[in-house]
Structure 1
Amino acid sequence: MMIMNEKIKAAEVELTGLDGESLGVVSRDEALAMAKKLKVDLVCTSLMSSPPPCRLIGRGAAKEAQQKEKRAAGGGAPAKVKELRLTPHIEEHDYETKQRQAEKLLASGHAVQLVVKTGSAKESAAAKALLERLLKDLAPAGSGESGIQVSGKGAQVKVNPQ
């Protein structure tokens, strides 16, 4: 959590200049005036000491650093789930193409939702068999999150990257 400019509530701050030079303890208002004059941000680096240490940082650089920190801490956004649709009676080269697509997506950190649409409930056994084969072939790249879900008009399974 980064506190900037007017959000800093301390009466006095220990100020560090743009080039890392110590400017000593100054009043909050004086530090803010200096930041405004230099067209930079005043950023509080820690709330654990009194007076709190603050730095003058170029406009936008502080926000960028904060976003970078957030990305590093949170590991970024959760991986998106990409959906690949298949049919139960798939030709061999089409199957290989779908398998390569799924491997590429898993390698780039995305989860893959494999969906087999069927015309009737009779074809759902073929759909399940197809997904089982695909899961086995994708084992080096990812693993099924849960079992294969079979419904009246198809089957699906979510595969997470290794």
Structure 2
Amino acid sequence: MIKNEKIKASEVLLTGLDGEELGIVPTVEALAMARKLKVDLVCTSLLSSPPPCQLIGAAAVRESMQQARKQERPAKVKEIRLTPNIEDHDLDTKRQQAERVLKGGDSVQFVIRLQGKSDGERAKKLLEELLTGLKPVGRKQTGIQLSGKQAAVQVDPL
């Protein structure tokens, strides 16, 4: 992203703070306008002539760069393993861990290893409890899957 004095074009197609078109303006005049308003002059594309530029506040520039970075990288699936006999405090810790991962933009897959026949129902209840606790930050992608020796569910960020 090119901004302020690094813009080498003699004139730019300027857009104001509120998105209003200000037309083709000499770069020197656009920089003076940016300094007067205490914002940055940011070049949005170098492919056209004159290059389109925008008056943007510093916080907005940082925020848009962070959004672009988040969209660039693909979401990962983090696996969190549990047992059916988990204590309440440990379950809370796992829920908080999953919350952090979901807020970071990645998906979470809960996997519960089953030992006996009665563990299936207990595992299903645990997963449902986790899903209700994580409703504000994520939604389930798949239903609760009971297969052989494990129960699993995947939660995607909102």
Provide the TM-score with structure 2 as the length reference: 0.57
Local SS of the residue matching 2:153 = strand
Query: Which residue is 2:114 aligned to?
Result: 118
Structure 1 gaps of 5+ residues are: 1-17, 23-43, 47-52, 54-68
Per-residue deviation at 1:120?
Answer: 2.8
Q: Does 1:159 align with 2:148?
A: no
Local SS of the residue matching 2:84 = coil
User: Identity of counterpart residues, as a percentage?
Assistant: 45
* Whole-Å separation in 2 of the counterparts to 1:128 and 1:87: 11
Deviation above 6 Å: which 4+ runs of structure 1? none
* Whole-Å separation in 2 of the counterparts to 1:72 and 1:140: 24
Query: Which residue is 2:9 aligned to?
Result: 20
Structure 2 gaps of 5+ residues are: 1-6, 12-45, 50-64
Quick check: 1:145–1:158 contact (8 Å CA) kept in 2? Answer: yes
Question: Once structures 1 and 2 are overlaid, which stretch shifts more, 110-119 or 120-129?
Answer: 120-129
Q: Does 1:144 align with 2:128?
A: no
Letter in 1 for 2:106: H
Instruction: Give the number of equivalent residue pairs.
Output: 105
**CA 1:74–1:154 in 2, change beyond 3 Å: closer, same or farther?**
closer
Per-residue deviation at 1:21?
Answer: 4.7
**CA 1:142–1:73 in 2, change beyond 3 Å: closer, same or farther?**
closer
